[in-house]
A and B are shown apart, each in its own frame.
Chain A
Amino acid sequence: MDLTRFHAVFVEEAAEHIENLETGLLLLEKSPDDIELLNDIFRSAHTIKGSSGTVGLPDISRFTHVMEELLDDLRNREFPANEEMISTLLEGVDMIKEMIDAIRDETVFEFSRCAPLMERITALQGKQPVQQDTQQDSLQITAQPPENRLYLIDFLTTPDLFRQGTDPARLISELAELGQIESISASSDKVPPLSSLDPESLYLSWIIKLNTNASVEEIREIFLFVSDDCTVEITQLLSPEKELPLLGKLLTEEGVVSAEDVRQALSKQQKLGEILVSQGKISQAQISKVLEKQGMQKAESFKKSVSSSIRVDLNKLDHLVNLVGEMVIIHSMFQQVMNDFEGTETNSRNSKTEKTERLFSQLQRIGKDIQEGTMALRMLPVGEVFQRFARLVRELSTSKGKEIELVISGEDTEMDKGVLEKVTDPLVHLIRNAVDHGIESTAERIAAGKPARATVYLRAYQLGDAVFIEVEDDGRGLDRDRIITKAIANGVIQSAAMLDENEICNLIFLPGFSTADSVTDISGRGVGMDVVKRNIEALKGSVQLRTRKGQGTTISIRLPLTLAIIDGLAASVGNEVFIIPISSVVESLRPEQSVVHTVEEQGEVLNVRGEYIPLLRLSRILSIEPDKKDPWDAIVIVTHHENRKYGLMADALLGEQQVVLKTLGSATPKVNDIAGGTIMGDGRIALVLDIAGIIEKSRG
């Protein structure tokens, strides 16, 4: 079988792992004890080894194996990583890079060049150099038989299989020819009782564990003729010797027992560990140590099996999202045409228009599904970013001499990749703040009767059309009085008399504000929370802060699910159409003349069921001649921004619609009150209002 067609994929995939190896090794130099990091490095090496073997590149596989062994020793804490090891391993990474470059360029790499380096790496392990054949020196040779692998085959049949003349038993015997069927079970749940059985329908499905040196493709070939109707899922499990007697393999590797001992013990079908102890081959302590390792490996293999994905160029994805956006626009246009149709031909509605309408609504539904599916492509679980923070907190807590645990939850919450990338920096800031200012020193905590070990919670969840990310600490909370003193000293406020608790806390989001007494290397330079706030607001999100003195602080970030397509309310002012994002609309109403009041120096206000809200005339803010001069003739759209309501006055409401948000382009200077533009169903251009900007502008 020709495996070369997989080489391009391998080259691309390997690049990422090589990068990971490289940065990992560099980090390892700084913290040689970081087991998480070592695991990560090991995983990358292991993946390179595994996938190179799979695509028929035994040289890379063999070379990486030597590196992997050294890494494994390091991981098992047999000895700490020293500088020499790290630089040798880095040399190894360079060597792999060269080999991979050779594959990409389709040139020949002399494998003998690896030999001296392989020897040096092996020497560092303190073991004998591995037997290797340096005569075989080009990449084409495949002397070593490929390793046996264990596959889980989920064979979901179609009822028609018998009628097509296929007996699944034949497929199973063909599978058996590929290797060893370790276990097979037919699921008979769907077989009905005789009275309702169709004798020529197949109801059984199979789950098969196959131990073979064949590739997934070779297995798939067996199912080739049935693949149109049946679902065949093939998953590679860990290699058999790792999968089954993991403890046994580890014990053998450690040199505690021989492989023969393990096999004998296994045949007795008791707990392997107990038997070996009772035979006096090892002590309970040794077992516990290895069992611990087994747990770790299991967790790892679990992690590995979780995600299966392909890599797609982000540009391609964005292009697709754009196209879907265009489709949404065409849909709106079509809708418009359909509506016009209806208007002119109400009495002559025939079956054709009805049919068209039905088809259109189907098309619309599919379009919506495609749109959602495409948007989902851009979504990533926040866990990928969150995991980094575990390391950050660990480092920070050590450098500050505080005992802090980071509790992460909601890693599966998905967010737009673009948003996720931009939210990382603010999160780093918030977490640093929590560790540096939020959490008290251990002594202080004990004096306050709190547990010495502090906790920082990092959680994410989705609520409606928004994703919330919260950073919570169980530290000292914000000091209200210190904020006030500082704010007055900085001239931010004159007195705190007018401010409520919430407003005082939110003062820390103002530029140049820091309550820390001393500037530390972590935070306290006064450029913090305002930057966080600005970054989040740039993502159309908002930041909220809750704090209780002595109990802790929670900062909650609200982010929209996506930025590209929004639900909007179309409203007209004069001849122009504007879109107001539905997410900030509370209600729309036409006020009675009696509820519109003018308050001196505050402008117009509206009494909405007893609540006074400021009335902002869009025509005035946007400098457009309105059709309606008085609020009681016009329409007021009540919006909310930062916990306050504002009534926006427009001439008329045109309806709700989904719009594709487009930037106005680089030629337009940044306008605060406009978030972007969109093309309406009738082909007109409408501007999408930025509520925060509008409110800002109304104040100025």
Chain B
Amino acid sequence: VKYLINNSAQTGWTSPSNLLDRTKGLPMEERLKLSGELTICNIEELFETLKEALGQHQQLCIDLGAVEKIDTAAAQMLISAKNEAKATSISLSFVVPPAIKLWLKGVGIQL
């Protein structure tokens, strides 16, 4: 099964300094870049990654720009992450590429 989620351990989080360069004026925000296939097959990994990211940052942006494939289980987890963020007053946003946007629209899921 091809996967994966880029997390700090592997291809790494984009470092805060990088972020500062790109999104001027938003220093506290962390960008979590996910890539590859987000499906039920690697759902545990996504689960851990999201939990970790939400546990560490007050502002988080989940970037799905490099995601090639997503399924309902993963989409549901993103919703769950949103709910978690809401409950713990974390500001969470998503960057969704057109292909994923279309897929989400097709199954009636709103992030």
Chain A residues with CB under 8 Å of chain B are 162, 167-169, 172-173, 176, 181, 183-186, 188, 191-195, 197, 199-200, 202-204, 206-208
7 contacts between A and B (CB under 8 A): A191-B79, A193-B80, A194-B80, A194-B83, A197-B80, A202-B76, A203-B76
Question: Are B109 and A204 touching (Cβ within 8 A)?
Answer: yes
* Residue B51 interfacial (CB < 8 Å): yes
Choose one: B43, B44, B81, B109; the contact of A194 (CB below 8 Å). B81
Chain B residues with CB under 8 Å of chain A are 40, 43-44, 46-47, 50-51, 54, 71-73, 76-77, 79-81, 83-84, 86-88, 103, 106-110
Question: Are B87 and A193 touching (Cβ within 8 A)?
Answer: yes
Q: How far is the CA of A392 from the CA of B76 in the complex (A)?
A: 58
Q: Which of B54, B72, B87 has the most CB of A within 10 A?
A: B72
Q: How far is the CA of A185 from the CA of B106 in the complex (A)?
A: 9
Closest to B40 in A: A162
Q: How far is the CA of A341 from the CA of B107 in the complex (A)?
A: 62
Contacts of B81 in A (CB 8 A): 194
Q: How far is the CA of A395 from the CA of B109 in the complex (A)?
A: 56
Question: Are A197 and B77 touching (Cβ within 8 A)?
Answer: yes
Q: How far is the CA of A176 from the CA of B106 in the complex (A)?
A: 9
Question: Are B84 and A194 touching (Cβ within 8 A)?
Answer: yes
Q: How far is the CA of A191 from the CA of B87 in the complex (A)?
A: 13
CB distance from B46 to the nearest CB of A (A): 8
Instruction: Say whether, besides A199-B73, A200-B73, A202-B76, A186 and B107 are in contact (CB < 8 Å).
Output: yes
Q: How far is the CA of A334 from the CA of B30 in the complex (A)?
A: 72
CB distance from A662 to the nearest CB of B (A): 57
Besides the known contacts A168-B72, A204-B76, 5 further A-B residue pairs in the complex with CB atoms under 8 A apart:
A162-B73, A172-B108, A188-B79, A194-B51, A194-B54
Question: Are B106 and A172 touching (Cβ within 8 A)?
Answer: yes
Instruction: Say whether, besides A162-B73, A172-B107, A200-B73, A192 and B40 are in contact (CB < 8 Å).
Output: no
Closest to A207 in B: B108
CB distance from A123 to the nearest CB of B (A): 50
Q: How far is the CA of A127 from the CA of B83 in the complex (A)?
A: 61
Contacts of B79 in A (CB 8 A): 188, 191, 204
Q: How far is the CA of A188 from the CA of B79 in the complex (A)?
A: 8
Contacts of B108 in A (CB 8 A): 172, 183-186, 206-208
Chain B interface, DSSP helix/strand/loop, else mixed:
helix
CB distance from B71 to the nearest CB of A (A): 5
Contacts of B88 in A (CB 8 A): 193
CB distance from A191 to the nearest CB of B (A): 5
Lowest 3 CB-CB distances: which A-B pairs, in order?
A184-B108, A194-B84, A193-B84
Q: How far is the CA of A418 from the CA of B76 in the complex (A)?
A: 53
Question: Are B47 and A197 touching (Cβ within 8 A)?
Answer: yes
Contacts of B73 in A (CB 8 A): 162, 167, 199-200, 202
Q: Which of A176, A204, A207, A208 has the most CB of B within 10 A?
A: A204
Closest to B54 in A: A194
Q: How far is the CA of A208 from the CA of B105 in the complex (A)?
A: 12
Instruction: Say whether, besides A192-B80, A200-B43, A184 and B106 are in contact (CB < 8 Å).
Output: yes
Closest to B87 in A: A193
Contacts of A168 in B (CB 8 A): 72, 107
Choose one: A172, A186, A199; the contact of B43 (CB below 8 Å). A199
Question: Are A193 and B83 touching (Cβ within 8 A)?
Answer: yes
Closest to B80 in A: A197
Contacts of B84 in A (CB 8 A): 193-195
Question: Are A193 and B86 touching (Cβ within 8 A)?
Answer: yes
Q: How far is the CA of A191 from the CA of B77 in the complex (A)?
A: 8
Question: Are B72 and A169 touching (Cβ within 8 A)?
Answer: yes
Question: Are A173 and B54 touching (Cβ within 8 A)?
Answer: no
Contacts of B54 in A (CB 8 A): 194
Q: How far is the CA of A185 from the CA of B79 in the complex (A)?
A: 14
CB distance from A5 to the nearest CB of B (A): 34
CB distance from B79 to the nearest CB of A (A): 5
Question: Are A188 and B109 touching (Cβ within 8 A)?
Answer: yes
Closest to B48 in A: A199
Contacts of A206 in B (CB 8 A): 107-108
Closest to A176 in B: B106
Question: Are A192 and B72 touching (Cβ within 8 A)?
Answer: no
Q: How far is the CA of A199 from the CA of B77 in the complex (A)?
A: 7
Contacts of B43 in A (CB 8 A): 199-200
Contacts of A192 in B (CB 8 A): 80, 83
Q: How far is the CA of A185 from the CA of B108 in the complex (A)?
A: 4
Q: How far is the CA of A176 from the CA of B71 in the complex (A)?
A: 17
Question: Are A169 and B40 touching (Cβ within 8 A)?
Answer: no
Contacts of A195 in B (CB 8 A): 51, 84, 87
Q: How far is the CA of A167 from the CA of B73 in the complex (A)?
A: 8
Contacts of A197 in B (CB 8 A): 47, 77, 80
Q: How far is the CA of A162 from the CA of B74 in the complex (A)?
A: 11
CB distance from A461 to the nearest CB of B (A): 43
Question: Are A200 and B40 touching (Cβ within 8 A)?
Answer: yes
CB distance from A206 to the nearest CB of B (A): 6
Q: How far is the CA of A617 from the CA of B84 in the complex (A)?
A: 76
Contacts of B86 in A (CB 8 A): 193
Contacts of A191 in B (CB 8 A): 76, 79-80, 83
Q: Which of B44, B51, B80 has the most CB of A within 10 A?
A: B80
Question: Are B76 and A167 touching (Cβ within 8 A)?
Answer: no
Question: Are B109 and A186 touching (Cβ within 8 A)?
Answer: yes
Question: Are B40 and A173 touching (Cβ within 8 A)?
Answer: no
Contacts of B80 in A (CB 8 A): 191-194, 197, 203
Q: Which of A168, A197, A202, A203 has the most CB of B within 10 A?
A: A197
Contacts of B107 in A (CB 8 A): 168-169, 172, 184, 186, 206
Q: How far is the CA of A191 from the CA of B73 in the complex (A)?
A: 11
Q: Which of A172, A194, A202 has the most CB of B within 10 A?
A: A194
CB distance from A286 to the nearest CB of B (A): 38
Question: Are B50 and A167 touching (Cβ within 8 A)?
Answer: no
Contacts of B50 in A (CB 8 A): 194
